[in-house]
Amino acid sequence: MMGRIVYLDGQYLKEDEAKVSIFDRGFLFGDAVYEVTAVINGKLVDNEGHMIRLQRSCNELQIALPVPLAEITNIQKELIKKNALNEGGIYLQISRGSAGDRDFGYPADVKPTLVLFTQARELLNSPKATKGMKVITTEDIRWKRRDIKTVGLLAPCMAKQAAIEKQVDDAWLIEDGYITEGSSNNAYIVTQDGVLVTRPLSNDILHGITRKALLELAEKEAIKIEERLFTAEEAYQAAEAFVSSATTFVWPVVEIDGHTIGDGKPGNVAKKLREIYIELATKTAE
Ligand code: PMP
């Protein structure tokens, strides 16, 4: 999307005019956190959850919010308006800022850098939702605080690139023999007995905002849920598999490491959860 209006530290600028210092710690150390909120019909989906997680990520890293959360939401809405965004997402990033040199310890009196930009993208009619995606598994080489949503994303980039080179859509990450999550989404299987299985919350995975909403919906649908570890071998034998995130909502997984899942078509639980999540998201977006 050329010619976007983006936000940088109090200013709305043309995308090619927004510039950040080479000493910014986001650039030098990956010392920054981010959030992505989905936009449908020009409205923010589940944004309160994203704001709460943003605050938590900042707290864990002792980064002070540059503006209050309510002001961030005003900026998100203003950017949607300025870019006439109907469907897609808003990316927001807060870095610790620039102390004018490179030094590991947190500098005192540094002003955080706040960046937001819109991304137009088809969410409701995504082909992956109807066809399903193929994934490979690969070793989870990320750090041990995956609950903090930092921009230090080289490991997921490497996992995704490995998937691209194998001509599949994504990678599921494995640690100590168990799936942690997808490269940029939470991972689920549905057993042959119809039990929805996903890894419990801990520092090993990102606490997905979509995951939370989906588990609440699944409970209302009387779907049996087990938050527990599962292996790739268990996933190969599952009736269904799928992922969730703000940018996919729910995407079925129809192949893992070359093993066809179920009958190779998106499963009923994934389809149902996608449908009712979109219904809820459309109704509650603001
Ligand atoms: N896990 C990882 C590693 C992610 O990057 C994401 C998306 N940012 C998620 C899970 C899904 O989180 P959410 O539903 O809040 O988008």
180 CB near ligand 1 (under 6 Å): no
pLDDT tens digit string along 210-231?
Answer: 999 999 999 999 999 999 999 9
Rounded to whole angstroms, what are the CA distances from 262 to 182, 190, 191?
19, 10, 10
Mutate to test the pocket of ligand 1, among 48, 147, 206 (most ligand atoms within 8 A of CB): 206
Tokens of residue 30, six digits: 């990956």
Helices (H) and strands (E) in the chain, counts: 8, 15
Closest CA to 63 of 101, 2, 129, 107: 107
Is 149 catalytic? The answer is yes
Among the listed residues 43, 144, 149, 283, the single catalytic one is: 149
CB of 22 within 8 A of CB of 101?
Answer: no
83 CB near ligand 1 (under 6 Å): no
pLDDT of residue 42: 98
Tokens of residue 279, six digits: 């219904």
For 127-284, which CATH class?
alpha beta
pLDDT of residue 4: 97
Give the β-pairing of 5-8 and 113-120: antiparallel
5-120, what's its fold? D-amino Acid Aminotransferase; Chain A, domain 1 (3.30.470)
State the residue for tokens 């469907």: 87
State the residue for tokens 């588990």: 215
pLDDT of residue 88: 98
Q: Tens-of-pLDDT digits for all 286 residues of the chain?
A: 469 999 999 999 999 999 999 999 999 999 999 999 999 999 999 999 999 999 999 999 999 999 999 999 999 999 999 999 999 999 999 999 999 999 999 999 999 999 999 999 999 999 999 999 999 999 999 999 999 999 999 999 999 999 999 999 999 999 999 999 999 999 999 999 999 999 999 999 999 999 999 999 999 999 999 999 999 999 999 999 999 999 999 999 999 999 999 999 999 999 999 999 999 999 999 9
How far away, in angstroms, is 205 Cα from ligand 1 center? Answer: 9
pLDDT of residue 2: 65
Cα-Cα end-to-end distance for the chain: 23
pLDDT of residue 187: 99
Domain residue ranges in the chain = 5-120, 127-284
- Which H or E element spans position 116? strand 113-120
pLDDT of residue 163: 98
pLDDT tens digit string along 174-219?
Answer: 999 999 999 999 999 999 999 999 999 999 999 999 999 999 999 9
How far away, in angstroms, is 170 Cα from ligand 1 center? Answer: 13
